[in-house]
Structure 1
Amino acid sequence: MHRTYSMRQSRAPTAQQLQNPPPPPSTTKGSRLFGKSNIGHQFRRNTAGAFGPELAKKLSTLVKMEKNAMRSMELVGRERMEVAQQLSIWGEACDDDVSDVTDKLGVLIYEIGELEDQFVDRYDQYRVTLKSIRNIEASVQPSRDRKQKITDQIAQLKYKEPNSPRIVVLEQELVRAEAESLVAEAQLSNITREKLKAAFTYQFDALREHCEKLAIIAGYGTHLLELVDDTPVTPGETRNAYDGYEASKAIIQDCEDALTNWVHQHAAVKSSLSQRSRTLSQRRKHRNRQHEAVDLSGQDNPHADRESGIWVPASDHPGSDYADEDELGVGYGKGVNGETRGREEERAIVA
């Protein structure tokens, strides 16, 4: 008597995508060392801090934990799509109104699953930005190690050979190492703050869009439920013929339009600071302007030789560019966007 009216029959870019193009697919989707299962969750978490420089171990653990969270999000999205299809299959044998509404609800729930998949892609921007901080931390570690090594050598010589002429040479090397370390630490501090703000801006923007679109779908789902006649009937009594097919299609179309036209500027939920919060924030900004930071990144000329101890990017250190296990496996199958939604067959409308 009716057919599925999927909001994903056409995929024109949404208003938000036109303003802010979507990111590339998440790096966690391309390949997997342990397949689709969650076997690797605990393994990744336990081994994350076992490799790489000491300075970067804590953030490496955080990055791996976020990967576990993203794997779970992917699983939730796939499961929700399967739930949507099963809901439509179950409702097919019910009365006309229940059959039509459950079919359209399946469309909405499937859309939620696809939103979950899109959210993972945007969430990965946050995780990749955290990884860049981890790489900077890894590149700073050699300068710290060199300074500590020279300090230990000086202490050892002063204990064993107090009059050794090598002490003077080592002290001069320590001065240079401390200057080099000062530059590296200043750059680490600056980049950490910049990347931290960028990373969580990605996450909060993605959360805001995802949650607002979920709220939109929930609202239109409620409108669909109003088409179901829940008036009790007595045994032998027949219900009025269902005539809500066009209404259910219109609701789905309105939902699609609302999702397509959503942009951050028109978000329904706004966060507003209290007067006390605004005052404290403005006071802090004024204090920061009075103490502008000095950029020390250009005060020393870099040396070409790594053995000199100068700070260099992580990519130039042998073995420092350690990859995640998602870059080691093989592809795990077809993407979710190629799956079939709702009922595949189309029924002719009986006059």
Structure 2
Amino acid sequence: MHRTYSMRQSRAPTASQIQNPPPPTSSTKSGRFFGRANLGHNFRKNAAGAFGPDLAKKLSQLVKMEKNVMRSMELVGRERMEVAQQLSLWGEACDDDVSDVTDKLGVLIYEIGELEDQFVDRYDQYRVTIKSIRNIEASVQPSRDRKQKITDQIAQLKYKEPNSPKIVVLEQELVRAEAESLVAEAQLSNITREKLKAAFTYQFDALREHSEKLAIIAGFGKHLLELVDDTPVTPGETRNAYDGYEASKAIIQDCEDALTNWVESSAAVKSNLSTRARTLSQRRHAARRQPGEAVDLADQDQPLQNRESGLWVPASQHRGDEYDEDEEEEEEVADTAAAPNGGERGREEERIEAA
């Protein structure tokens, strides 16, 4: 079976890496006493599916691993907010231009933390939808087990009592069990495809929005840096008085407006297919469409709620049969208290509230 785990085999440098070579490997990635992974994460991942149906074990482990990813992202978001506050506190004692710019940079970094917190919520839509496939797999397992059990009983009787009248009865039960299993397997196949596409549509839409908004913040952050006067001065020389307070406020306001008004239709990054990829895609669609029906790939990048398949579906409707092998863990108290949404976003807002 062919499996590809990398987009490129040789790992040749990307255009971005050629233009801006990557730094050395982070020192935090080595020398850990207990290894690279979190012990709690490893335990949850390895224990996932241990007591569930065989058919659902692999997907149960995937669902648990995604939960570990989400917990890590939550931690990153909280710590990002704390970093933003600390940056603002450090800059308060610096010169006017550095003090003002670090305060505004703290606002932007705090906003990144809030975006990551929102991204976790949207990412959970993907996880819950994948979880519903696991629930369907778990519900199909009993029909498989019943069919296998009857088959084993028939084989055993034919070996021990070839003329037993029970064989005819069991064969009739096997026919019914095979019919039930056939229906269950068809439903599993259909629902798996539907939910798989829906789940990763949630994830990719969330990734796209999150990445675009991070790019917006990064762009305005670089505009803020232009307000810092980095011209070298000689000892005893006085820098010009800083007059960028209004400019920094305007940059922050423009950034907030850009984030507020962002919609997917105005996304700057477009995923355009090459001629070869489009031809292959059209050939794939041609095998499924009716004769004479045109191929339309225009909606391939549309968000799920705009597709003809229906409106956006809340996560609660994706739960399927309530097989929740990991629900007991979802009800646990969070590892650490979540950062309040109304936390500090910079010294300026703190002064306004104090006034």
Q: Same fold (TM over 0.5)?
A: yes
Residues 1:346 and 2:340 aligned together: no
Which residue of structure 2 lines up, in the alignment, with residue 324 of structure 1?
Answer: 327
Q: What's the TM-score once normalised by structure 2's chain length?
A: 0.77
Q: Secondary structure at the residue paired with 2:345?
A: coil
Q: Secondary structure at the residue paired with 2:177?
A: helix
Greater mean alpha carbon deviation, residues 59-68 or residues 328-337: 328-337
Counterparts of residues 255-274 of structure 1 (less than 5 Å): 255-274=255-274
Which residue of structure 2 lines up, in the alignment, with residue 314 of structure 1?
Answer: 321
Aligned equivalents of 1:92 and 1:81: distance in 2? 17
Cα distance, 1:334 vs. partner? 4.8
Which residue of structure 1 lines up, in the alignment, with residue 56 of structure 2?
Answer: 56
Which residue of structure 2 lines up, in the alignment, with residue 236 of structure 1?
Answer: 236
Which residue of structure 2 lines up, in the alignment, with residue 130 of structure 1?
Answer: 130
Gaps of 5+ in 1: 1-37, 292-312
Aligned equivalents of 1:57 and 1:324: distance in 2? 15
Residues 1:103 and 2:108 aligned together: no
* 1:88–1:106 Cα contact (<8 Å) kept: yes
Which residue of structure 2 lines up, in the alignment, with residue 165 of structure 1?
Answer: 165
Which residue of structure 1 lines up, in the alignment, with residue 225 of structure 2?
Answer: 225
Aligned equivalents of 1:74 and 1:187: distance in 2? 35
**Identity of counterpart residues, as a percentage?**
85
Q: Secondary structure at the residue paired with 1:322?
A: coil
Which of the pair has the greater relative contact order for Cα pairs under 8 Å at 6+ separation? 1
Aligned equivalents of 2:219 and 2:45: distance in 1? 38
* 1:78–1:336 Cα contact (<8 Å) kept: no
Matched AA of 2:44: R
Which residue of structure 2 lines up, in the alignment, with residue 251 of structure 1?
Answer: 251
Question: Cα deviations across residues 68-113 of structure 1 (Å, max 9, x unaligned)?
Answer: 0000000100111111000000000000000000000000000000
Cα distance, 1:339 vs. partner? 2.2
Q: Secondary structure at the residue paired with 1:236?
A: coil
Cα distance, 1:40 vs. partner? 3.0
* 1:80–1:113 Cα contact (<8 Å) kept: yes
Cα distance, 1:174 vs. partner? 0.6
Which residue of structure 2 lines up, in the alignment, with residue 286 of structure 1?
Answer: 286
Which residue of structure 2 lines up, in the alignment, with residue 176 of structure 1?
Answer: 176
**Residues 189 and 223 from structure 1, CA distance in 2 versus in 1: closer, same or farther, beyond 3 angstroms?**
same
Which residue of structure 2 lines up, in the alignment, with residue 275 of structure 1?
Answer: 275
* 1:98–1:228 Cα contact (<8 Å) kept: yes
* 1:123–1:206 Cα contact (<8 Å) kept: yes
Cα distance, 1:346 vs. partner? 2.1
Counterparts of residues 69-218 of structure 1 (less than 5 Å): 69-218=69-218
Which residue of structure 1 lines up, in the alignment, with residue 306 of structure 2?
Answer: none
Which residue of structure 1 lines up, in the alignment, with residue 303 of structure 2?
Answer: none
* 2:344–2:350 Cα contact (<8 Å) kept: no
Matched AA of 1:255: C
* 2:49–2:325 Cα contact (<8 Å) kept: no
Q: What's the TM-score once normalised by structure 1's chain length?
A: 0.78
Matched AA of 2:118: Q
Question: Cα deviations across residues 178-216 of structure 1 (Å, max 9, x unaligned)?
Answer: 010000000000000000000000000000000000000
Give the total of aligned pairs.
Answer: 286
* 2:78–2:113 Cα contact (<8 Å) kept: yes
Gaps of 5+ in 2: 1-37, 292-319
Cα distance, 1:289 vs. partner? 2.3
Cα distance, 1:314 vs. partner? 3.4
When the two chains are superposed, the root-mean-square deviation of aligned CA atoms in Å is 1.8
Aligned equivalents of 1:324 and 1:43: distance in 2? 16
**Residues 338 and 39 from structure 1, CA distance in 2 versus in 1: closer, same or farther, beyond 3 angstroms?**
farther
